[in-house]
Amino acid sequence: GAVVSQHPSRVICKSGTSVKIECRSLDFQATTMFWYRQFPKQSLMLMATSNEGSKATYEQGVEKDKFLINHASLTLSTLTVTSAHPEDSSFYICSVRTTNQPQHFGDGTRLSIL
């Protein structure tokens, strides 16, 4: 069964809207979750590492004020794309890391900004 639940699966909204994506760990308490972005025909690029109870660690070039991450519990991390614009349209995927186990990915969220 699914280890990670990601919601919503698809979002279409107008430019300037803020969009929240949820990532839930179903079977494990996840102290660490990861957020990736994938543009068409490109590989996954890590955006940030979400740490339960502390600030997220962002990769170089990712704006922390635009991509807000909250990891308030051991089973839930959220990514909010603030004031989204067409260039933010992408496939956003979260993953959960458990101790000594490979990362498991959510089903992804396809974000389309008009």
For another protein, the binding residues (CB under 8 A) are: 6, 32, 34, 42-46, 49, 57, 93, 95, 97, 102-108, 110
Contact between residue 109 and residue 79 where contact means Cβ atoms under 8 Å apart: no
Tell me how far, at minimum, the Cβ of 108 lies from another protein, in Å.
4
Alpha-carbon distance of 6 to 105, in angstroms, equals 9
The smaller minimum CB distance to another protein, of residues 19 and 35, is found at: 35
Tell me how far, at minimum, the Cβ of 97 lies from another protein, in Å.
6
The smaller minimum CB distance to another protein, of residues 20 and 110, is found at: 110
Alpha-carbon distance of 60 to 2, in angstroms, equals 31
Backbone torsions φ then ψ of 12, nearest 5 degrees: -125, 120
